[in-house]
Structure 1
Amino acid sequence: MENVHGDLEGGKIKDGRAEAVDTNMAAWLLGVKNLQIQPYHLPPLGPQDVKVRIKAVGICRSDVHHYNHMRCANFLVKKPMIVGHECAGFIEEVGSEVKSLQVGDRVALEPGISCLSCPLCTGGRYNLCPQMKFFGSPPTNGSLANQVVHPARLCFKLPETVSLEEGAMCETLSVGVHACRRANVGPETNVLIIGAGPIGLITMLAARAFGAPKIVMVDVDDLRLSFAKDLGADEIVKGSTSIEDVAEEVSCIHKAMTNCVDVSFDCVGFTKTMTVALNATRAGGKVCLVGLGQTEIAIPIMAAATTREIDVIGIFRYRNTWPLCIELLRSGKIDVKKLITHRFKFDNEGVEKAFETSARGGDAIKVMFNL
Structure 2
Amino acid sequence: MSTTAPEIPDRMRANVLTGKRSMEMQERPVPTPGPGEVLIKVRTVGVCGSDVHYYTDGRIGDMIVDGPLVLGHEVSGVIAAVGPGVDEGRVGERVAIEPQRPCRVCRACTTGHLNLCPEMKFYATPPIDGAFAEYVTAPAEFAFAVPDTLSDAAAALLEPLSVGLWACRKAGIGPGDRVLITGAGPIGALAAVAARSYGAAEVIVTDPVASRRERIAAFGATATHDPAAADFAPETLAVDAFIECSGATPAMLAGLRALRRGGTAVMVGMGADEMTLPVQLIARNELVLTGIFRYVDTWPTAIAIAGQPDVDLDALVTAEFALEDAESALNADADPLSMKSCVVVSRG
Q: Does residue 78 of structure 1 match 2:66? A: yes
Q: Does residue 311 of structure 1 match 2:311? A: no
Q: Does residue 158 of structure 1 match 2:136? A: no
3-state secondary structure, aligned to 1:140: coil
Q: Does residue 211 of structure 1 match 2:199? A: yes
Alignment partner of 1:201 out of 189, 206, 227: 189
Residue deviations 1:188-213 (CA, integer Å, cap 9, x gap)? 21000111111111101110111100
Alignment partner of 2:239 out of 250, 261, 268: 261
What's the RMSD between the two structures over aligned residues? 1.8
CA contact (8 A) 2:32 2:39 kept: no
Q: Report the counterpart of residue 252 of structure 2 in structure 1.
A: 274
Q: Report the counterpart of residue 344 of structure 1 in structure 2.
A: 321
Percent identity between matched residues is 36
Report the Cα distance in structure 2 between the residues aligned to 1:116 and 1:181, rounded to whole angstroms: 22
Q: Report the counterpart of residue 104 of structure 2 in structure 1.
A: 116
Deviation at 1:44, TM superposition (A): 3.3
Report the Cα distance in structure 2 between the residues aligned to 1:233 and 1:53, rounded to whole angstroms: 35
Q: Report the counterpart of residue 311 of structure 2 in structure 1.
A: 334
Q: Structure 1-normalised TM-score? A: 0.87
Q: Does residue 292 of structure 1 match 2:263? A: no
CA contact (8 A) 2:79 2:92 kept: yes
Report the Cα distance in structure 1 between the residues aligned to 2:137 and 2:253, rounded to whole angstroms: 43
CA contact (8 A) 1:57 1:144 kept: yes
Q: Structure 2-normalised TM-score? A: 0.93
Q: Report the counterpart of residue 172 of structure 1 in structure 2.
A: 160
CA contact (8 A) 1:50 1:151 kept: yes
Deviation at 1:42, TM superposition (A): 4.0
Q: Report the counterpart of residue 331 of structure 2 in structure 1.
A: 356
CA contact (8 A) 2:179 2:202 kept: yes
How do 1:39-118 and structure 2 match up within 5 A?
39-99=27-87, 102-118=90-106
Alignment partner of 1:134 out of 119, 122, 138: 122
Deviation at 1:355, TM superposition (A): 1.3
- Counterpart residue identity of residue 88, structure 1: S
- Counterpart residue identity of residue 110, structure 2: T
Alignment partner of 2:173 out of 173, 185, 198: 185
Structure 2: which 5+ runs fail to align? 1-8
Report the Cα distance in structure 2 between the residues aligned to 1:295 and 1:361, rounded to whole angstroms: 24
Deviation at 1:252, TM superposition (A): 5.5
Alignment partner of 1:302 out of 275, 280, 288: 280
Structure 1: which 5+ runs fail to align? 1-20
CA contact (8 A) 1:175 1:318 kept: yes
Report the Cα distance in structure 2 between the residues aligned to 1:289 and 1:72, rounded to whole angstroms: 15
3-state secondary structure, aligned to 2:302: helix
3-state secondary structure, aligned to 1:201: helix
CA contact (8 A) 1:209 1:333 kept: no
3-state secondary structure, aligned to 1:229: helix
Report the Cα distance in structure 1 between the residues aligned to 2:268 and 2:71, rounded to whole angstroms: 22
CA contact (8 A) 1:264 1:287 kept: yes
Q: Cα–Cα, structure 1 residues 153 and 230, in superposed 2: closer, same or farther, change >3 Å? A: closer
- Counterpart residue identity of residue 329, structure 1: A
CA contact (8 A) 1:115 1:129 kept: yes
Deviation at 1:130, TM superposition (A): 0.5
CA contact (8 A) 2:234 2:254 kept: no
* Worse-superposed segment, 161-170 or 125-134: 161-170
Q: Cα–Cα, structure 1 residues 214 and 88, in superposed 2: closer, same or farther, change >3 Å? A: same
Q: Cα–Cα, structure 1 residues 333 and 81, in superposed 2: closer, same or farther, change >3 Å? A: same
Report the Cα distance in structure 1 between the residues aligned to 2:219 and 2:194, rounded to whole angstroms: 12
Report the Cα distance in structure 1 between the residues aligned to 2:42 and 2:218, rounded to whole angstroms: 31
Q: Cα–Cα, structure 1 residues 288 and 205, in superposed 2: closer, same or farther, change >3 Å? A: same
Report the Cα distance in structure 1 between the residues aligned to 2:234 and 2:116, rounded to whole angstroms: 37
